[in-house]
Structure 1
Amino acid sequence: MQPGTLYGIGVGPGAPDLLTLRAVSTLARVDVVFAAASSRNDYSVALDIARPHLRHDVTIERLDFPMTRDQSVLTAAWKANADAVEAVLRTGRNAAFLTLGDPLIYSTFGYLLRTLTALAPDLPVEVIPGVTSYQAAAAKTRTILCESGENLLLLAGIQDAARLDTALTRADNAVILKAYRNFSSIRTMLASHEATRDTVFVSRLGMEGEVVARDLHAAPEHPHYLSLLLVTDRKHGNPEHTAESTSDAEADETAD
């Protein structure tokens, strides 16, 4: 039997109408949808975003991705998830794996892709890119991410503040994703760059509990998992200088 195809689909940052036309048309054709979630939770944010575009009769299967740094636990989970996907594809059914933003940027899909390719290299896989959270945040706040000969550095906020500080000295502009875990120390570090940098905090963009703050002091003390920072050279300036925010809604972490 000819195996089915796995589609890694980026569903964007939160608003269902930010899925690409290709993503929507693919979701209308697949037989199975794999929704990644933290093993701590029973929901998937990516699935909620994509739900308006799913067939009413599509099969939904949850894949658990544990929130741990124990490599043995992670490897076992990746193998189990790859086995589950392979089992579906071997029946000839096409499947979609949903992920927030883009499938190849800080995504659980990367772990699945690498593991599945090693276990079953004959299985066809296609990746459908998605709008990233920092692209949507820049659009929301009219923040210029880079221009002319400038560079843009993508950073993970799970790094310690000292390492992020060093990285920023080599960047014209930067995006700090996953800014929730070390936010207090990151905020303190960024305060030392206030003379030369503009920073915008964005959380849960396009979702209930969205927060946009141009003043870091207006950002919540304990941000949601889906939080990021846009750090740009001060010469760009901001089109707006008044802090704007909506209520902060805390929620459990998700592995999407």
Structure 2
Amino acid sequence: MTGHLYGIGVGPGDPDLLTIKAAKILHQVDIIIAATSTKNEDSLALDIARPHLGPTAQIIAMGFPMSRDQNVLTAAWEKNARLILDQLKEGHRVAFLTLGDPLLYSTFAYVLRTLRSMAPDQPITIIPGITSFQAAAAATETILAKGAENLLILPGIRAAQSLRTSVAGADNAVILKAYTNFTALRQELKKNPVDNHCVFVSKVGMKEQLVARDLDQAPEKPTYLSLLLLTKNT
């Protein structure tokens, strides 16, 4: 008997922002997989989902290395994909938790791709989640795009100058994981008038939520869960 895998986006931080479908499935599955660093078993996604879990669900902390070495990453994806397949072959319903949405800068995307190469016919259902930038826009009343405007989504791990160039060519932009090299990023962005309409948000939807409506008001060393909303037009 083949089990079923669910990739579930738990949203940005507030447990109430899970979709009804996500909450329903979390209450029904047999196994919950929480992606963690290989250095510890902390999982914010699990903390967010916990109020919705069924009483008998088994929780598995699955370590993924924080590395840029492609060989190290590939080995981890393959190892963990095999572990997931072992559970599925036993007929279990398995939920893989991910912050935000499962298919946007998510560990699950790599697991999904690896699983599909190993088991093309494996039943998998992906449950979308509210992204951090959607929640940040709602919290700050920032219009992400209107009319014929475009919206560019960028990862903060790119070089600061590259990010500035990309932002300059867009009507509106989101920079996720803005904590990476934030000092250089702030300096580069201030070279553009776009910073007049810049909102910094960290830990959106959590008790520690922080909002700064000017780059100069943002902390010197932002947390991992930080982003920037940049708009050219009010």
Shorter-chain TM band: over 0.9
Aligned pairs for 1:143-162 (under 5 A) are: 143-162=142-161
Residues 51-96 of structure 1 show CA distances to partners (whole Å, capped at 9, x for unaligned) of 0000121000111110001111111100111011100000111110
- Structure 2 contact 195–230 (Cα < 8 Å) conserved: no
Aligned pairs for 1:49-64 (under 5 A) are: 49-64=48-63
Return the alpha-carbon distance in structure 1 between the equivalents of residues 15 and 54 of structure 2.
15
Q: CA deviation at 1:162?
A: 1.0
Report how many residues are paired: 234
Q: CA deviation at 1:191?
A: 1.1
Residues 149-201 of structure 1 show CA distances to partners (whole Å, capped at 9, x for unaligned) of 00000001110111111111220000000101111111111112236741000
- Structure 2 contact 203–209 (Cα < 8 Å) conserved: yes
Residues 107-145 of structure 1 show CA distances to partners (whole Å, capped at 9, x for unaligned) of 000010000000111211110000000000000000000
Q: Assess, with a 3 A threshold, how the Cα gap between structure 1 residues 38 and 196 changes in structure 2: closer, same or farther.
A: closer
Normalising by structure 1, report the TM-score: 0.89
> What is the identity, as a one-letter code, of the residue corresponding to 2:220?
E
Q: CA deviation at 1:41?
A: 2.3
Name whichever of 196-205 and 14-23 sits farther off: 196-205
Q: CA deviation at 1:215?
A: 1.6
Return the alpha-carbon distance in structure 2 between the equivalents of residues 42 and 7 of structure 1.
21
Structure 1 stretches of 4+ moved >4 Å = none
What does residue 229 of structure 2 align with? Answer: 230
What does residue 215 of structure 2 align with? Answer: 216
What does residue 96 of structure 2 align with? Answer: 97
Name whichever of 32-41 and 135-144 sits farther off: 32-41
What is the RMSD of the two structures over their aligned residues, measured on CA atoms? 1.1
**Structure 1 unaligned blocks of 5 or more:** 237-256
Return the alpha-carbon distance in structure 1 between the equivalents of residues 47 and 194 of structure 2.
41
> What is the identity, as a one-letter code, of the residue corresponding to 1:86?
L
* Residue 177, structure 1, aligned to residue 171, structure 2: no
The SS at the match of 2:97 is strand
What does residue 187 of structure 1 align with? Answer: 186
Q: CA deviation at 1:40?
A: 2.1
**Structure 2 unaligned blocks of 5 or more:** none
What does residue 84 of structure 2 align with? Answer: 85
Return the alpha-carbon distance in structure 1 between the equivalents of residues 194 and 86 of structure 2.
56
Return the alpha-carbon distance in structure 2 between the equivalents of residues 170 and 193 of structure 1.
11
> What is the identity, as a one-letter code, of the residue corresponding to 2:158?
Q
Name whichever of 135-144 and 116-125 sits farther off: 116-125
Return the alpha-carbon distance in structure 1 between the equivalents of residues 52 and 79 of structure 2.
27
Q: CA deviation at 1:35?
A: 0.3
